[in-house]
Amino acid sequence: MIDFVSLYWTTGDTLIFKMEILKIKGGKVPAIKCDAITKSECNDKEIAYIEKSSALDGAAVKKEIDRLQLLSKKPMNPELTNWWVFLIGLLYLHSSL
């Protein structure tokens, strides 16, 4: 019996698919364009939170992350969810610096 798979592919080979997206189902989510380090493309609300969080020490950042994670378990509207994602991302960035 001929093993056709082993004639074309071997272990470790990469298989590449090319797809064309015809329609996206579901809700749309705005891209987060704010760069927290340079503050480029940030709105006033984001800049205010960046400046507020830059004064926090490690323990305060951890406390804020814990508070936001508890908040995520409650139902949120899409705008608040997007704001939450920005805040969590910013705090994790701050804690890794």
How far apart (Å, rounded) are the C-alpha atoms in residues 93 and 56? Answer: 13
DSSP string, 55-68: T--HHHHHHHHHHH
Per-residue pLDDT of 53-65, as tens digits, reads 888 888 888 898 8
User: What does the pLDDT average to over 15-34?
Assistant: 78
Within a domain: 75 = yes
Q: pTM for this one?
A: 0.60
Domain of 87 in residue numbering reads as: 29-96
Asked if residue 17 is part of any domain, the answer here is: no
pLDDT at 81 over 70: yes
The reply to whether 24 falls in a domain is no
55 vs 80: CA distance, rounded Å: 23
Number of domains in the chain: 1
Residue 19 lies in a domain: no
